[in-house]
Amino acid sequence: MSGLSQQQIDHLSQLIDKRWAREFSEIRSLIANMGELRQRIALGERPSDASDEALLHSLSAIDAAQVRQNVRDVQDIVAARQRIAACKYGICTDCGSDIGYERLLAYPTAKRCINCQRGHEERKARDAGRPG
Ligand SMILES: [Zn+2]
């Protein structure tokens, strides 16, 4: 069990639910925008000049990256809900120590304590810098 009280878990669970709703409304509006652009292009509606076309192109690229980020956030939320259901929420998945209420208030989907998260990010940065 984590060091969290039931009230603390309930509160964090509400934060997670709010985040969930926000992520999905963002995803929905991004997809709606992309769909609208595609539809216009499919209907043969061309942007009035080349610079608009270039703008349109980069906008849709940004949207796709944003949707991917939103989807990752949703996956984190799903994992956090599973940890709540399994009474493992608030416990670091790496070292098993308490994540801490303050950290969870800032990052309700955090699965690592601050020390392990730092180590994880250092490893990730090292791996990203590795050639090949
Ligand atoms: Zn840890």
3 C-alpha to ligand 1 centroid (Å) = 14
Q: How far is the CA of 108 from the centre of ligand 1 (A)?
A: 16
**Domain 6-129 class?**
mainly alpha
Alpha carbon of 128 to ligand 1 centroid (Å): 22
Instruction: Give CA–CA dist 24/11, Å, rounded.
Output: 20
Q: Reduced to 3 states, what is the DSSP secondary structure of residue 42?
A: helix
* Centroid of ligand 1 to alpha carbon of 65 (angstroms): 30
Separation of CA 86 and ligand 1 centre (Å): 18
Q: Where do the domains of the chain lie? A: 6-129
pLDDT (tens, 9 = 90+) of the chain, 132 residues, equals 578 999 999 999 999 999 999 999 998 888 887 777 777 777 776 655 556 677 677 767 777 888 889 999 999 999 999 999 999 999 999 999 999 999 999 999 999 999 999 999 999 999 887 765
Report how far Cα 8 is from the mean position of its chain's Cα atoms. 22
- Residue 27 CB contacts under 8 Å (≥ 6 apart), including other chains: 67, 70, 71, 74
Q: Cα separation of 95 and 2, whole Å?
A: 13
Q: Residue 125 Cα, ligand 1 centroid: separation in angstroms? A: 18
Helices 6-42, 50-85: crossing angle, 10 deg rounding = 150
Is the separation of the CB atoms in 55 and 48 below 8 Å? no
How far does the centroid of ligand 1 lie from the alpha carbon of residue 99, in Å?
A: 7
Please report the pLDDT score of residue 36 as a whole number: 78
- Residue 106: the pLDDT is 96
CA of 91 to the centre of ligand 1 (A): 8
What DSSP string describes 44-67? T---SSHHHHHHHHHHHHHHHHHH
DSSP-derived letter for residue 107 is: -
pLDDT for position 39: 75
